[in-house]
Amino acid sequence: MNILKTLLALACLWPLLAQAEPAAAMKIASPDFPEGGMIPARFTCDGTNVNPRLDITGVPAGARSLVLIVDDPDAPAGTWNHWLLWNIDPGTTKIAAGAVPSGAVQGRSDFGQEKYIGPSPPSGTHRYFFRLLALDAKLDLPAGADRAALETALRGHILMRAELMGRYRRSP
């Protein structure tokens, strides 16, 4: 009988629930290039090699930190990490070009450095993903940790994901 009452109550509430606004999705975007577009050379090894501006919206209310992973899945040796950044304040709405948010921690890229290293494909056009993760915790991970250590620390803490993809091809 309780199941029947629950079903009837849900049936009565359904029209109200269907009208509710859906939760906003977290997004990452850049005014420097559109989703799927070409990344300008100034943000690559052929330019000044600084990160592009990144705009962040829709971070879930329960987030305690953000993580940013920039990688190239088209690299000949497999996915290549260009920038690892964690413990970004969840109130961050913009990462300025060429900047690291205050309090954020940088990991070691596959170039062996603790900083952004822009696209530098050896040949052809590669895709570069800017992956943003909202976490329910701050990570207890030292600066210079690699992607494997970061992924281990992330387990069980991801609330929401967003990504931006740009492409780059070096001029001949």
Q: What is the per-residue pLDDT across 2-47, written as a single tens digit (0 to 9) for each? A: 444 433 333 433 343 333 344 569 999 999 999 999 999 999 999 9
- Would the pLDDT of 119 be above 50? yes
| Burial (0-12, 13-18, 19+ Cβ within 10 Å), 43 | buried
Prediction pTM value:
0.86
pLDDT of residue 24: 67
| Domains of the chain, earliest start first | 22-169 (3.90.280.10)
